[in-house]
Amino acid sequence: MLSPVQVRASLPRIRLDRVATSRGLSWLPQVEEPPRRRPFNPALFSNSTTEVLPPLAQDSLPAWLVPAIITPLAKLQDGSIIELVEPAWRALLAVLAKDQQLRFEIPWRKLEEIVAAAYRAAGFKVELTRRSADRGRDVIATLEGAVQVRILESVKALGEGRRVTAEEVDALIGVVGRNNASKGVITTTAEFAPGIAKEPEYLPLIPQKLELVDGTALVPRLLKLSSEKPFE
């Protein structure tokens, strides 16, 4: 007959309590099953970093923690041509649509990527400029066709209560003129100074040559832009 020590040695370590119960050895101590390793999920890795996201449901992650939504295709003097990472982009849209207040927490560079991704989803060729070389345009979106459409967008990640000024709108209008672009867009997470959209000098430009997108219109515009090709 085996001694208690020999019985312990002969039993597997995992689920020892079940084996002990089945053999009538209730005096053996119960051993907890060690935690199982989570399966590898490559979607939790960003293209631009080796950090792993927390093991949470994707729709509960803050917008900036969703894996990379764009990837660079080619480097240019002032930035990079980008391509869309479709699954991550759709997941991010779902996060923002569910809680639009998250827009105030998005880092400035991530917001520029979000806007660039929307244009790419709409079929544009998109350049995301470098911060030090943006010259007043963070995203350059071009659509080739019978007539070329070239949109310059200035993206402003501002905290709640902050406002885009008339001087900043004037600056973008100047950039659009100097670059012979089709249109200029300012997108912000916050709002514009009161009355800007009704200023006499801006009224003839809105919306054909100038578009002002405030925080409340941000997510609806992203959804609309990424679901259709408006210039085809």
Same domain membership, residue 121 and residue 82:
yes
CATH number at residue 222: 3.40.1350.10
The predicted pLDDT at position 132 comes to: 64
Query: Are residues 91 and 205 located together in one domain of the fold?
Result: yes
Question: Does an H or E element contain 121, and which?
Answer: helix 108-121
Q: How many domains does the chain have?
A: 2
One domain for residues 136 and 191: yes
pLDDT over threshold 50, residue 22: no
Do 114 and 68 form a contact (C-beta atoms < 8 A)? Answer: no
The answer to whether residue 183 sits within a structural domain is yes
Verify that 25 and 46 share a domain, yes or no: no
Q: Are 226 and 93 in contact (CB under 8 A)?
A: yes
How far apart (Å, rounded) are the C-alpha atoms in residues 189 and 114? 12
Domain containing 15: what range? 1-36
Q: Is the peptide bond before 194 cis (omega within 30 degrees of 0)?
A: no
* Side-chain half-sphere CA neighbours of 220 within 13 A: 5
Average pLDDT rounded to a whole number, residues 22-42: 44
Q: Could you tell me if 68 and 23 lie in one domain?
A: no
Q: How far apart are CA 48 and CA 214, in angstroms?
A: 29
5 and 101 together in one domain: no
How far apart are the C-alpha atoms of 225 and 153, rounded to whole Å? 14
165 and 86 within one domain? yes
pTM of the model: 0.70
Give me 177's structure tokens: 């003129």
**Residues 108 and 133 grouped into a single domain:** yes
> What does pLDDT average to over the chain?
77
Does one domain contain both 122 and 211?
A: yes
Task: Provide the pairing of β-strand 139-143 with 149-156.
Answer: antiparallel
Residue 232 maps to a domain = no
- Tell me, yes or no, whether 117 and 51 share the same domain: yes
168 and 218: one domain? yes
How far is Cα 35 from Cα 217, in angstroms, rounded to an integer? 45
Percent pLDDT > 70 in the chain is 67
In the prediction, which pLDDT does 205 show? 95
Q: Which two tokens stand for residue 8?
A: 């312990």
Query: For residue 44, what pLDDT is reported?
Result: 36
Position 184 confidence tier, pLDDT thresholds 50, 70, 90: very high
- Mean pLDDT within 8-23: 47
Using DSSP's 3-state secondary structure scheme, residue 196 falls into helix
Q: What is the pLDDT of residues 50-103, one digit of tens each?
A: 333 333 344 455 545 556 888 888 888 778 898 999 888 888 888 889 888 989
pLDDT number for residue 117? 93
Answer yes or no: is pLDDT of 46 > 50. no
Q: Which two tokens stand for residue 39?
A: 């399966």
Residue 26 pLDDT greater than 90, yes or no: no
Lowest-confidence range among 14-18, 144-148, 174-178, 219-223?
A: 14-18
Handedness of CA 179, 226, 131, 98 (dihedral sign): positive
What local confidence, expressed as pLDDT, does residue 112 receive?
Answer: 93
* Same-domain check for residues 112 and 216: yes
Q: What is the pLDDT of residue 131?
A: 73
Contact 118, 230 (CB under 8 A): no
